[in-house]
Amino acid sequence: MADSLPHPLYIVCLASYFKGGEFIRECKRRGCRVVLVTKEKLLGEDWPRESLDDIVSVPNEATPEHFIHTVTQLARPLKLDRVVALEEYDVITASLIREHLRIPGMGSTTARLFRDKLAMRVMAQETGIRVPDFVHLLNYNEIGEYMERTPAPWMLKPRSDVSAIGIKKLEEPEQVWRAIDVLDSRPSLTERASYYLLERYVAGEVFHVDSLVEGSKVVFAGANRYGRPPMDVAHGGGVYISHTVEHDSDDQRRLFEFNRKLVASLGLVRGAAHAEFIKSEDDEQFYFLEIAARVGGSYISEVLEAASGVNLWREWAGIEMARGERPVELHPSRREYSGIALTLARQEWPDTSDYTDAEIVYRVKKRHHVGLVLRSPNLERVKELLGAYAERFAEEFSAVVPPLERPE
């Protein structure tokens, strides 16, 4: 792709959480005018201000209508060319802004497929991808019949939250009925039972595929395996680990195939995607868990860049600039292995200077977090170091906080 554009583009980035700095820097490097719209509480974060033409804030409790109004005001003096959601909670808001201002890009119908765990499961199932048995927490008869034919335990999941927020493991029907009563007593209508689903618990290893898409086709993908399921880390604490899946393995091949099918069936034309699958202990088959139209969190971009040389944020920016008008060619500069060990820390700024292995290529710099990204041509070496770091982190740094019931 060309490094610059013949005419500067005006890009608005939405971010309800602090992320996407490399996307912003790459847009500016390519000659774009970039404005960030974020929440008031995030104004003090370390945004790449040298790459921003402006930062505009909205109230911390801003609704999509607040965002639409704010971006509409930005469009009065200059014509907007792109609206990009850097964070999952902004994906639908960005689509509504595009529809309101008639800006090209993903519309709200497609965006909701990437935010609604019920909708994406239905689509995946129709595509022929295995999904753990599930039921919408709506019709009492269907819920009762589901529990009769589907052995416990079950996972209670909100349809629109991310990570492990709001997820609970239920062991018997009475717990499910009580959970429905509790949800339906909530004052917020969008937090009641119909905004949840019930899913069969599947024990196994959890994997994620992170990809870049152009013209409805996956142009780059990386497959990783979590050390422990993210839900277990979120609910029980401990060290988060993720590392590259062995290249050319059957697992990698199957994961890439499922990811391509998902991207096509859900209608993602261009952008980034983060999909998660679980490999069942019972039958060794992969089951779809969720997919999002964004770059994965927890420093996944740094991990994939270490293994391949491809930075998801920067390449996504290039895809947005090209907008299908120029060919997208991504050429990984290496084919190695990488991984990350990451945990909440008791210390405000943990000191990792005693960690001196040559494989360390990135050190997380975030308050009350400690994390190291590794790279090696040898997968076993990466796994060995991650295991050792997990033990040391648990002793030297790790802190545990209760999981969120709903996003802050």
Instruction: Find the helix or strand (DSSP H, E) in which 239 lies.
Output: none
> How sure is the predictor about 234, in pLDDT bands with cuts at 50, 70 and 90?
low
Rg (CA), the chain: 21
Q: What is the dihedral of CA 312, 313, 314, 315, to 10 degrees?
A: 40
Domains of the chain: 10-109 (3.40.50.20), 133-200 (3.30.1490.20), 204-396 (3.30.470.20)
Q: Write down the residue that tokens 């008869």 correspond to.
A: 141
Supply the pLDDT for residue 6: 54
The CA-to-CA distance between both ends of the chain, in Å, stands at 38
Supply the pLDDT for residue 406: 55
Q: For helices 91-101 and 64-74, what crossing angle results, to 10°?
A: 50
Burial of 325 (0-12, 13-18, 19+ CB in 10 A): exposed
- β-pairing verdict for 10-15 and 82-85: parallel
For the stretch 138-180, pLDDT in tens is: 999 999 999 999 999 999 999 987 655 789 999 999 999 999 9
Supply the pLDDT for residue 54: 97
DSSP, res 403? P
Supply the pLDDT for residue 169: 94
Distances (CA, A) of 338 to 170, 257, 273, 363, 394: 35, 22, 19, 13, 21
Supply the pLDDT for residue 399: 80
> How sure is the predictor about 239, in pLDDT bands with cuts at 50, 70 and 90?
very high
> Is 60 exceeded by the pLDDT of residue 4?
no
Torsions phi, psi of 132, nearest 5?
A: -55, 140
With CA atoms as reference, report the closest residue to 85 among 162, 186, 194: 162
- Point out the least confidently predicted range of 3-17, 201-215, 293-307: 3-17
Alpha carbon distance 213, 266 (integer Å): 12
> Average pLDDT of 51-77?
96
> Is 90 exceeded by the pLDDT of residue 232?
no
Alpha carbon distance 234, 232 (integer Å): 6
Alpha carbon distance 299, 279 (integer Å): 23
Distances (CA, A) of 86 to 62, 92, 220, 272: 16, 11, 19, 10
Query: What is the average pLDDT score of the chain?
Result: 93
Higher-pLDDT residue of 146, 329:
146
> Is 50 exceeded by the pLDDT of residue 251?
yes
> How sure is the predictor about 372, in pLDDT bands with cuts at 50, 70 and 90?
very high
> Average pLDDT of 45-50?
96
> Average pLDDT of 189-198?
95
> How sure is the predictor about 402, in pLDDT bands with cuts at 50, 70 and 90?
low
Supply the pLDDT for residue 2: 44
> Is 80 exceeded by the pLDDT of residue 275?
yes
For the stretch 88-100, pLDDT in tens is: 999 999 999 999 9
**Secondary structure percentages of the chain, helix, strand, coil, to 5:** 35, 25, 40
Supply the pLDDT for residue 326: 79
Which long-range contacts link 72-75 to residues 24+ away (Cβ below 8 Å)?
Answer: 72/100, 72/101, 74/12, 74/35, 74/37, 75/101
> Is 60 exceeded by the pLDDT of residue 189?
yes
- β-pairing verdict for 271-280 and 286-292: antiparallel
Are the beta carbons of 301 and 312 closer than 8 angstroms?
A: yes
Torsions phi, psi of 289, nearest 5?
A: -110, -55
Supply the pLDDT for residue 231: 65
With CA atoms as reference, report the closest residue to 299 among 19, 14, 13: 19
